[in-house]
Amino acid sequence: MTEQFEPVIVGFLCNWCSYRAADLAGTARIKYAPNLRSIRTMCTGRVDPQFILKALRDGADGVLVAGCHPGECHYVNGNIKATRRFVLLRKVLNQLGVEDERVQLLWASASEGIRLAEKVDEMTEALRALGPLNWEEKVLHRNNGHEAAEAIAVLEEV
């Protein structure tokens, strides 16, 4: 049996809805992929796109931002601002070659433990299919010293 790839997902969960949804998933003993590593923020409105970029750069294979449904944000509309940032970030990440599946936004209220768990499972599967992101090695080629060592295109004739 070949070992299956276990993606690392960083989750930014808002304190009032999605962090509690994750609490509820646990309390209800719903089993889901242990691949989500959660960070609590007071609101999805606190999630600076820099955090997402940082996570991708630092080895995460995916990032999940989860918060209250529109209209239910504890701070009225932090999640609306989060959505605006997410939509623009998605466009920038597209240009940077990061697949849409890797950075996702989810609304899960405190009672939607199942919804959160299902999303984590689904994302884990999607990332398995995509393979590791491993930005440092695969994109920046920092693994074996400098790019100077990289293969160089040879003379091509068309």
Partner 1 sequence: MTNSEKPKLAMYWSASCGGCEISVLNIHEKILTVDEVFDVAFFPCIADFKVKDVEAYPDDHITVCLWNGAIRNSEGEEMAHLLRKKSQFMVAFGSCAYEGCIPALSNLTSKEATFDTVYKNNPTLDNPKGFIPTTSVQVPEGELTIPEFYNTVKSLDQVVDVDYYLPGCPPEPHQIWAVLQVIVGALLEGAPLPPKGSIVGVTNVAVCEECDLKKDEKTITRFYRPYEIVPEASVCLLEQGLMCMGPATRGGCGALCPEVGIGCRGCYGPMPGVEDQGGKMLSAIASVIGAGDETMEDDELEREIQAVVDTIADPAGTFYRFSMAHSLLQRAKVNGSNGKGEAA
Partner 2 sequence: MTEKNNNQEKVGVYVCHCGTNISKVVDVEEVAKWAGEQPNVEVSRDYKFMCSSLGQELIEQDIKEKGLTRIVCASCSPHMHEKTFRNACERAGLNPFLFEMTNIREHDSWITDDKHAATEKAKSLVRGSIDRVVHHEPLDEIPVEINPNTLVVGGGIAGITSALELADAGYHVYLVEREPSIGGHMAQLDKTFPTLDCSACILTPKMVDVGQHDNITLLTWSEVEKVDGYLGNFTVTVRKKARFVNEEHCTGCGICIEKCPFKEVDEVFEAGMGERKVIYRPFPQAVPKYPVIDKENCVYFKTGKCKACEKFCPTEPNSIDFEQEDEMLMLDVGNIILATGYDLFDAKKIPQYGYGKLDNVFTSLEFERMVNASGPTDGKIVLRDKESKPKSVAIVHCVGSRDENYNKYCSKVCCMYSLKFAHLVHERIPDAEIYDCYIDMRTPGKGYEEFYNRLLEEGTHFIRGKVAEITDAARIPEEEGKLIVQVEDTLIGRQRRVPVDMVILSPAMEARAGSKEVSQLFKMGCDFDGFFVERHPKLDPVATMTDGIYIAGACQGPKDVPESVVQGAAAAARVAGLISRGTVMMEPVRASIDQDACSGCKICNNMCPYNAITFHEDNEVSEVITALCQGCGTCVAACPSGVITGAHFTNEQLFSQIEGILWDVRPEKTIA
Q: Which tokens go with 127?
A: 């990332």
Question: Which residues of the chain form contacts with partner 2 (CB under 8 A)?
Answer: 6, 8, 10, 16, 19-20, 22-27, 29-34, 36-43, 45-51, 54-55, 57-60, 68-69, 71-78, 81, 85, 111, 117, 134, 136-137, 142
What is the largest distance, in Å, between two alpha-carbon atoms of the chain? 64
The CB-of-125 to partner 2 minimum distance in angstroms stands at 15
Which is closer to partner 1, CB of 13 or CB of 55? 55
Q: Which does 60 bind (CB under 5 to 8 A by kind): partner 2, ligand FES, partner 1, none?
A: partner 2
Cβ atoms of 77 and 47 within 8 Å: the answer is no
Q: Which tokens go with 32?
A: 């889901």
Q: Give the Cα separation of 46 and 96 in Å (integer).
A: 23
Q: Which does 32 bind (CB under 5 to 8 A by kind): partner 2, partner 1, ligand FES, none?
A: partner 2
Which residue, 134, 122, 144, 10, is CA-closest to 65? 10
Give how many residues touch partner 1 by CB under 8 A: 50
